[in-house]
């Protein structure tokens, strides 16, 4: 593989500079006091702004993630931080949401979907443009897996295929745009895929790989909040990947999102969901084809 250039990660972090002036710890040994009321306020705010239903057992996770924002903003209590957020959050709303979103992903995660996806691409062929939306792109492994499947299906003739990759979290989208990963993130890919679709870093870039430019060219990255009443995503779509994100929403919120997805799909379009997600409560919108793959209910 060839050498590629990229900037080194910045040393330290926003929490490091503030760590020298920590407020007094609460009786429970935590750096900041964190009451049941604070947690309920967080649950309410993240639901209102991102549709995420936080489980009552997530208190420790919420504390550890938002404590970084308290240090960064100089707040000495969760109550002060949340008060300021509600009064005039500005850009802090984005950082608040980014802190509480989970971005577990990998290349070709839930691999049983990709042969079904490839077969669908083959059925459409090259007779018309193909539009694909990856609605929970995270750090990019999923949309690049989609692009690899497109390239393996159509060879070099991929100009008719476009992929929209979106996420709520702007931090992970920046990682996705760069397409640079530690070697261990691609170690499960076949040698053939590594040779064909990645560049290996050498010298100061040793230990990293970069996605090849031709894959990046297929993908447009953009921020989309699935709670929005409409999406800046061009329809009609042939495929929607919405995997392992609906589990963070309650059933009414899931239904609202699915109701927005349905008119965006081609009549023969497919939607891929995560292995633990089921949309039986939206049977009027989508019908299951098995293996967490869905088609429009009206398509028979």
Active site members: 65, 167
Residue 148 CA: distances (Å) to CA of 15, 87, 141, 143, 211: 37, 45, 10, 9, 10
Residue 64 CA: distances (Å) to CA of 30, 70, 71: 10, 10, 11
Tokens of 280: 């039986």
| Distance (Å, whole) CA 284 – CA 264 | 15
Tokens of 103: 């971005």
**DSSP assignment of 37-56:** HHHHHHHHHHHHHH-----G
CA atoms within 13 A on the CB side of 279: 34
| CB-count burial class (<10 Å; 0-12, 13-18, 19+) for 11 | exposed
């Amino acid at each position: 593989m060839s050498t590629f250039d990229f900037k080194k990660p910045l040393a330290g972090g926003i929490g490091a500079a503030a760590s020298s002036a920590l407020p007094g710890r609460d009786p429970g040994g935590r750096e900041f006091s964190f009451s049941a009321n604070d947690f309920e306020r967080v649950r309410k705010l993240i639901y209102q702004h991102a549709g995420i239903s936080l489980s009552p057992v997530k208190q420790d996770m919420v504390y550890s993630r938002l404590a970084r924002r308290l240090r960064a903003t100089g707040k000495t209590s969760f109550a002060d931080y949340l008060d300021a957020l509600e009064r005039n959050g500005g850009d802090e709303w984005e950082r608040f949401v980014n802190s509480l979103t989970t971005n577990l992903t990998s290349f070709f995660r839930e691999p049983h979907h990709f042969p079904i996806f490839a077969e669908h691409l083959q059925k459409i062929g090259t007779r018309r443009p193909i539009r694909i939306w990856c609605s929970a792109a995270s750090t990019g492994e999923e949309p690049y897996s989609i692009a690899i499947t497109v390239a393996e299906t159509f060879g070099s003739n991929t100009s008719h295929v476009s992929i929209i990759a979106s996420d709520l979290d702007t931090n992970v989208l920046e990682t996705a745009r760069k397409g640079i990963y530690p070697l261990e993130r691609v170690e499960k890919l076949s040698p053939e895929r590594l040779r064909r679709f990645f560049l290996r870093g050498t010298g100061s870039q040793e230990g990293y790989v970069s996605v090849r430019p031709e894959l990046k060219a297929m993908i447009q990255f953009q921020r989309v909040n699935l709670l929005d009443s409409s999406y800046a995503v061009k329809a009609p779509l042939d495929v929607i990947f919405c995997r392992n994100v609906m589990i963070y929403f309650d059933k009414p919120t899931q239904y609202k999102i699915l109701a927005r997805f349905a008119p965006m799909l081609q009549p023969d379009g497919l939607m891929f969901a995560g292995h633990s997600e089921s949309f039986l409560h939206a049977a009027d919108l989508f019908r299951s084809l098995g293996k967490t793959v869905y088609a429009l209910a009206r398509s028979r």
